[in-house]
Amino acid sequence: MSTTTFEGVPTVGPSAAIEPSFLTSENTIGSWLFTRDHKRIALLFFASITFYFFVGGAAATLMRLNLATPEGLLQPAVYNRMFTMHGIIMVWFFLIPSIPTTFGNFFIPMMIGARDLAFPRVNLLSWYVFNLSGLVVLFSLVMGGADTGWTFYVPLSTVYANGYVLAAALAVFINGFSSIMTALNFVVTIHRMRAPGMTWMRLPLFVWAIYAVSVVMLTATPVLAMDTFLLAVERFIGIGLFDIQHGADAILWQHMFWFYSHPAVYIMILPSMGVASEIIPVFARRPIFGYAGMTIALMSIAILSFFVWAHHMFVAGISIYSGVFFSLMTFFVAVPSAIKVFNWTVSLHKGRISFDAPMLYALGFVLLFTLGGVTGLMLATLAVDVDLHGTYFVVAHFHYIMVGATVSAFFGALHYWWPKMTGRLYPEMWARSAAILMYVGFNLTFFPQFVLGYLGMPRRSYTYPPEWQSWNVLSSAGASILAIAYLLPLLYLGWSIFWGRKAGPNPWRATGLEWATPSPPPTHNFEETPVVSLGPYSYDPEDDTFIDQEGVSHAR
């Protein structure tokens, strides 16, 4: 990006920039690689996770090509490595960092009225550690990949697996430190760096969601770190704490793994919930319904997520009474999620709704999350899970949440905040078309998998009986549509950087503090620290006015 493209003050809007934007203030590579600016670090993360998204997506492409016919395409051992690396890369190198390290890093300080996070150098270090772990996982991938499934169960991973398990496990171990650093930064920043007047109950729900996610990251990741460390030790030296030859318990590995990995799936969804709560009020021109309930729901989900992990282990050999307990708790954790879905829906009532791309993605999020969540309840039922565990029903369930919901919300956030981050407007019709295409492609890819799971097709299998081929073909066809829907934004968003219309400070007429700055914002965010006097989402659909958080009223 040369200085001539973005030079100077945005042409629209009353708040002219006094200093250059964060994008153009310095242009050397060093100024990007050694930056302390949370906004630049957010873009650095954005580049990294986009790269890994396409690496993980390439593995998925090979898998769906393979599954289009029962004869398949890949050798079985290669197929095993594909689904393993797809899972590892998508979970730890795309989904978990996705919204927190990009939009969280960029907007948390701005939403609370701060000039940066509490620990900017820790933030930059987090990016470097993330990329270090990425190099290790790429090494594992290039050398052939691990083949244990992303869940690394012992003793397959410690004793019998032939792939590069040690490298993959170490990559996950190192990646955990990146998560922890990011989470620590957010927790401390949200507690201590809020602008005057920004009380907890005036925070935008996105901030609450990132706070909840950070608490979960902070408390769950160390258990994974210890678990993968012990796995690496046992793989490397040949004996360890999960060695059944010495009376240890292989299932202990699963307990510690899922103690992290179940909260991890909430790490992947909570930020998306925050994004939906930001987008829906803006495009319905109404305050979110039940703000306090939404905050309680977020924190409840965060805490309850720690009580349900063994629902991944119902058929692993745990005690049946333990299974009953975890099944019950899994039903409980669905309650706050359902409350949120009700609140998002009711927030639309009597609103002045417009179907811009961010809103399309947000509505798609709500629908896909609901379907994924309901099927989760089915899996939580012990007797049903006995039949559905390890089938494509589970695969469809978690893809509805992680891809349908989270990735929809990610794209919604991308479009919503694109004008603020880049100072450009994207072409709206292309964006709406991509959103609809994604929704269609997604459902075509994953709904047939519910059917396949119901019919009994096991997951992690390179082949299947021929009578299931038509469902698999539908799924693979859907995946090709989904791929186009993911590639389109790359094209038109990239186009908009150079030729898009320039954006003013607040193209969506939104109330958050981030919209009170120029687009793109200057390095220090705010010339003067804002003084907050109102909660978020003070929209009035009747006369289409709104009041921003500093108390300034804006007419039509």
Partner 1 sequence: MPADTRPVPEMQYATLEQQGETAQFGIWVFLTQETIFFGALIFTYFLYRITYPHEFAAAAKDAVLWCGSLNFVILVTSSLTMVLSINAAAQDARPNRMVRWLIVTVVLGFLFLIVKGYEYYLDFQDRVVPVLDFVAKPGEGSAGELFWVFYWVATGLHAIHLTIGIGLVLYMLLWRIRRGEITPAYYAPLEVVGIYWSFVDTVWLFLYPCIYLVGRS
Partner 2 sequence: MTMGPEVDARRASALPFVIAWIVILLTAGISAWTAFLGLGIWAPVIQFGIALFQTALLFVLFMRLKGAPSLKWVFAVSGFFWLMFLYGLSMTDYSNRQSWPPAQASTRSQLQVDQDHR
Q: How far is the CB of 340 from partner 1 (least distance, A)?
A: 26
Name the residue among 228, 225, 143 with its Cα closest to residue 183. 225
List the end-to-end C-alpha distance of the chain, in Å, as a whole number.
Answer: 35
**Residue 119 interacting partner from partner 1, partner 2, none (CB closer than 5 to 8 Å by kind):** partner 1
Which of residues 251 and 377 has its CB atom nearest to partner 2 in the complex? 251
**Residue 73 interacting partner from partner 1, partner 2, none (CB closer than 5 to 8 Å by kind):** none
**Residue 319 interacting partner from partner 2, partner 1, none (CB closer than 5 to 8 Å by kind):** partner 2
Q: How far apart are CA 396 and CA 139, in angstroms?
A: 29
**Residue 321 interacting partner from partner 2, partner 1, none (CB closer than 5 to 8 Å by kind):** partner 2
**Residue 226 interacting partner from partner 1, partner 2, none (CB closer than 5 to 8 Å by kind):** partner 1
Q: How far apart are CA 141 and CA 384, in angstroms?
A: 36
Q: List residues binding partner 1 (CB under 8 A).
A: 109, 114-120, 180, 184, 187-188, 191-193, 218-219, 221-223, 225-227, 229-230, 233, 237-241, 243, 245-249, 252, 256, 259, 524, 529
Q: List residues binding partner 2 (CB under 8 A).
A: 191, 219, 223, 244-247, 249, 251-252, 255-256, 259, 306-307, 309-310, 317-319, 321-322, 325-326
CB of 242 within 8 A of CB of 252? yes
Which of residues 30 and 247 has its CB atom nearest to partner 1 in the complex? 247
The 3 state secondary structure assigned to 331-361 is: HHHHHHHHHHHHHHHHHCCCCCCCCCHHHHH
CB of 336 within 8 A of CB of 297? yes
Who contacts 519 (Cβ-Cβ below 8 Å, separation ≥6)? Answer: 10, 13, 419, 420, 421, 422, 423, 503, 504, 505, 507
| Cα torsion 252, 255, 259, 264: sign | positive
Q: How far is the CB of 246 from partner 2 (least distance, A)?
A: 7
The dihedral formed by the CA atoms of 88, 93, 99 and 104, expressed in degrees to the nearest 10:
130
Which of residues 180 and 301 has its CB atom nearest to partner 1 in the complex? 180
Which of residues 323 and 441 has its CB atom nearest to partner 2 in the complex? 323
Which of residues 181 and 357 has its CB atom nearest to partner 2 in the complex? 181
What count of other Cβ atoms lies within 10 Å of the Cβ of residue 337? Answer: 24
**Residue 457 interacting partner from partner 1, partner 2, none (CB closer than 5 to 8 Å by kind):** none
**Residue 398 interacting partner from partner 2, partner 1, none (CB closer than 5 to 8 Å by kind):** none
Q: How far is the CB of 532 from partner 1 (least distance, A)?
A: 15
Q: How far apart are CA 278 and CA 549, in angstroms?
A: 14
Q: How far is the CB of 317 from partner 2 (least distance, A)?
A: 7
Q: How far is the CB of 215 from partner 2 (least distance, A)?
A: 9
Q: How far is the CB of 182 from partner 1 (least distance, A)?
A: 12
Q: How far is the CB of 455 from partner 1 (least distance, A)?
A: 39
Amino acid identity for residue 67 in this structure: L
Omega prior to 448 cis, within 30 of 0? no
**Residue 118 interacting partner from partner 2, partner 1, none (CB closer than 5 to 8 Å by kind):** partner 1
Amino acid identity for residue 534 in this structure: L
The 3 state secondary structure assigned to 125-155 is: HHHHHHHHHHHHHHHHHHCCCCCCCCCCCCC
Q: How far is the CB of 192 from partner 2 (least distance, A)?
A: 9
**Residue 317 interacting partner from partner 2, partner 1, none (CB closer than 5 to 8 Å by kind):** partner 2
**Residue 306 interacting partner from partner 1, partner 2, none (CB closer than 5 to 8 Å by kind):** partner 2
Which pair of tokens denotes residue 343?
Answer: 């609140």
Q: How far is the CB of 380 from partner 2 (least distance, A)?
A: 16
Q: How far apart are CA 471 and CA 454, in angstroms?
A: 12
**Residue 310 interacting partner from partner 2, partner 1, none (CB closer than 5 to 8 Å by kind):** partner 2
The DSSP secondary structure of 381-406, one letter per residue, reads SHHHHHHHTTBHHHHHHHHIIIIIII
Which of residues 191 and 350 has its CB atom nearest to partner 2 in the complex? 191
Name the residue among 36, 242, 212 with its Cα closest to residue 124. 36
Which of residues 257 and 464 has its CB atom nearest to partner 2 in the complex? 257
Name the residue among 504, 527, 510 with its Cα closest to residue 13. 504
Which of residues 109 and 419 has its CB atom nearest to partner 1 in the complex? 109
Which of residues 322 and 529 has its CB atom nearest to partner 2 in the complex? 322
Q: How far is the CB of 161 from partner 1 (least distance, A)?
A: 19
Which of residues 326 and 393 has its CB atom nearest to partner 2 in the complex? 326
Q: How far is the CB of 116 from partner 1 (least distance, A)?
A: 4
Q: How far is the CB of 181 from partner 2 (least distance, A)?
A: 16
Walk across the sheet containing 553-554 and list its strands. Answer: 538-540, 545-547, 553-554
**Residue 230 interacting partner from partner 1, partner 2, none (CB closer than 5 to 8 Å by kind):** partner 1
Look at strands 545-547 and 553-554 and give their pairing. Answer: antiparallel
Which of residues 276 and 310 has its CB atom nearest to partner 2 in the complex? 310
